[in-house]
Amino acid sequence: MEFLRGVTIVCFAASYAVALGLELLRGVRRIPLRHVLIIGWTAAGLLAHTLFLYQLAYSESSGGTSRYIFSSWYDWSLLAAWGVAAAYLGLVIRRPQNAVGLFLLPLVLALIGAAVFVADRRPFEPVEAQRLWRTIHAASLLFGTVSVTLGFAAGLMYLYQSYRLKRKHPIPSWFRLPSLEWLQRF
């Protein structure tokens, strides 16, 4: 487990930031293999993020404290960021022509920033963290957080796409978004 201590928040946040930078460069100029680079940086960030969460869970469970794994707002913010990043990776692999990263990656970075902001807050009490229904409730809250975040990004894309279509603005070749029908189903 000692080798995992080198994985920090900076590792995966920087990977996501590079992927966001590549998404932003979509309109500036053509970069050969840009799509492959975006997938690579996002996958590297997701791998580092996963290793960081694994190391965090391992240290919380074996640290000799009465803390349970993923029992603080810091942990849950990082888990929510992981969920949104995983959804982004799936979307960018499935729909490479769409610029969903311009909407999802800033949210991932914002959730990571929120985690850093609440890192010094006290974890949940052990009695609270161990109860089955509270755990189920917390998992539902995490799922809800990720779902609402993805819905927020889809709503922004829908509003932009609708605005563009109503005013008959041409589609910039570098800023293609999913169709209104797909966004509505999403």
Instruction: Give mean pLDDT, residues 23-45.
Output: 88
Residue 128, pLDDT above cutoff 70: no
Q: What is the pLDDT of residue 131?
A: 65
Measured CA to CA, the distance from residue 91 to residue 85 in angstroms comes to 10
Measured CA to CA, the distance from residue 4 to residue 146 in angstroms comes to 26
Q: Are 24 and 54 in contact (CB under 8 A)?
A: no
Instruction: Give mean pLDDT, residues 16-37.
Output: 88
What's the predicted TM-score (pTM) here? 0.74
Range of the domain at 29: 2-185
Q: Are 107 and 154 in contact (CB under 8 A)?
A: no
CA distances from 173 to 28, 32, 121, 143, 169 (A): 11, 15, 45, 34, 12
Instruction: Give mean pLDDT, residues 95-118.
Output: 92
Q: Are 83 and 146 in contact (CB under 8 A)?
A: yes
Least confident of 2-11, 26-35, 58-67, 136-145: 58-67
pLDDT greater at residue 10 or residue 99: 10
Query: How many CA atoms are closer than 13 Å to the CA of 165, on its beta-carbon side?
Result: 12
49-61 pLDDT per residue, tens: 999 999 888 877 7
How close are the terminal C-alpha atoms of the chain, in Å? 39
Which DSSP string corresponds to 160-171?
HHHHHHHTTPPP
73-88 pLDDT per residue, tens: 888 899 999 999 999 9
Q: What mean pLDDT is reported for the chain?
A: 85
Number of H helices and E strands in the chain, helices first, is: 7, 0
Number of domains forming the structure of the chain:
1
Residue 65, pLDDT above cutoff 60: no
